[in-house]
Amino acid sequence: MKKIFVHLGGGAGDLDERSNFRCGFTEFIKKKIVAEDKAYVVEANSKNIVKLKSCYKDFKNVNIFNFAITHENSKEYEFFFTEEDKPHYQVCSMDINHVRKHYPNSIINSFKIKGFNINEFLENYIGEKIDYLSVDLEGIDYEVLMKIDLKKVLIENISIEHLHLNRTQKKAMVKYLNKNGYSYCGYGYDHMNFDYLFKKKKIIWNRFLSNFLFIIDHKKLKYFNKLIYKN
């Protein structure tokens, strides 16, 4: 059966030297994808597109898009970055404060690019089913995830970066995902374990424990994950 992989915020894939040439979801796609499957990788920063194309040069069923995914209306958006973050601009973001947080003393530059609302993107490019979704959108992960119409699209596995989420966002996100049939299942696909993984299945114990996820520090998450039901 055909599987669909979607990577929102592909960066430079596994060709970024500052990440030791690793990207957890890129590695996951390359390991799991077969001929009948499809993968869709979206990256707003045009400087990374050449690397992404090189990264997936042997995978003809991987589609690469150079535009932004947003939680707002589809239009042109301004992105912010600093040259101190080159060559792959890992914290390039629609949120200027996200860049300032990482580079408080740097000159902030910007560029504009077409952005698509997440639901419009899913409807026009993907369809009604996704097997594996990775959300890594540098500062707007929460906003985009919370805008996804989970009544229209079936997503079996959601991996979302949690490093930039505050306690209120984590609490609201867990409530939203639990309500829509998801259960927390530990680390996501990021090779640094910076992602949460939610699966479209009913695991009562995991749902109960996930209500306390917002108070768990990243360094203690490995101990918390020992308590959940692994399936």
List pLDDT tens digits, range 139-185.
Answer: 899 999 999 999 999 999 999 999 889 999 999 999 999 999 999 99
Q: Across-strand partners of 157?
A: 132, 199
- Are the beta carbons of 213 and 187 closer than 8 angstroms? no
Residues of the chain with pLDDT under 70: 231
- Are the beta carbons of 32 and 55 closer than 8 angstroms? no
Copy the structure tokens of residue 200.
């479209």
Look at residue 195 and give its three-state secondary structure.
strand
Predicted confidence at residue 18, as pLDDT, reads: 87
Which architecture characterizes domain 4-225 according to CATH? 3-Layer(aba) Sandwich (3.40)
- Are the beta carbons of 162 and 214 closer than 8 angstroms? no
Q: Across-strand partners of 183?
A: 199
Backbone angles phi, psi at 215, to 5 degrees: -100, 0
* Cα 57 from Cα 35, distance rounded (Å): 14
Quickly list H helices, the chain. 24-32, 49-55, 96-102, 118-121, 141-147, 167-179, 204-210, 221-225
For residue 87, whether the previous peptide bond is cis, meaning omega lies within 30 degrees of 0, is yes
Distances (CA, A) of 197 to 106, 214, 226: 34, 14, 14
Distances (CA, A) of 100 to 74, 94, 105: 25, 12, 8
* Cα 67 from Cα 129, distance rounded (Å): 21
Predicted confidence at residue 1, as pLDDT, reads: 82
Predicted confidence at residue 189, as pLDDT, reads: 97
